Amino acid sequence: MDPNKNTREEFTNDIVSRPIPEFASPDWKKYVQRSQVLLDKLAHHTAMAPNLHQPYMTPANSKNKVYFEWDFVGRTLSMFYALNPTLQGLTKQEKEKWQDAIGRTTFTKMLILDTTPGMLNMMTETTYPDQRGAHPDFGEEILELARHLDD
């Protein structure tokens, strides 16, 4: 895919439709499947509408917390895909990448579920000052997916 031509929706569809190998370890499979579903829901959240049909490398029209999480979950999913799905014979560096990806998954859960006032809101406002006070709700479906990301 060409990040200068293909849209965020096309990138999302590509990453969430990758098949899970039969031989994948149960842990790898669990984290990848749950991340795929969450990424798809984030991509199709109404707050992503201004961004979804832009080329991937074009600065987002709305850099809200849904966009932030979509980007974060997509990058985390790419980390999982970079590893051997069996999780066998991993090098020290690959084991560290696995732990980093699990940590990012836990962090995703924390950021989505933390709503009072929310670290994600503060992070978004610090990075994108124009988002101050503009915090779309994730909705119950995304909140429920986040609750079960790492159990």
Q: What is the pLDDT of residues 123-149, one digit of tens each?
A: 777 777 776 767 788 999 999 999 999
Q: What is the mean pLDDT of residues 74-99?
A: 97
What whole-number distance in Å separates Cα of residue 25 and Cα of residue 34? 14
What's the Cα-to-Cα distance from 69 to each of 5, 82, 123, rounded to whole Å?
A: 22, 20, 11
Q: Is the pLDDT of residue 86 over 80?
A: yes
The string over 32-62, giving b where at least 16 C-beta atoms fall within 10 Å of a residue's C-beta and e elsewhere, is bebbbbbbbbbbebebbeebbeeebeeebeb
Instruction: Compute the mean pLDDT over every residue in the chain, rounded to the nearest whole number.
Output: 92
**Structure pTM?**
0.90
What is the number of H-type helices and E-type strands within the chain? 7, 0
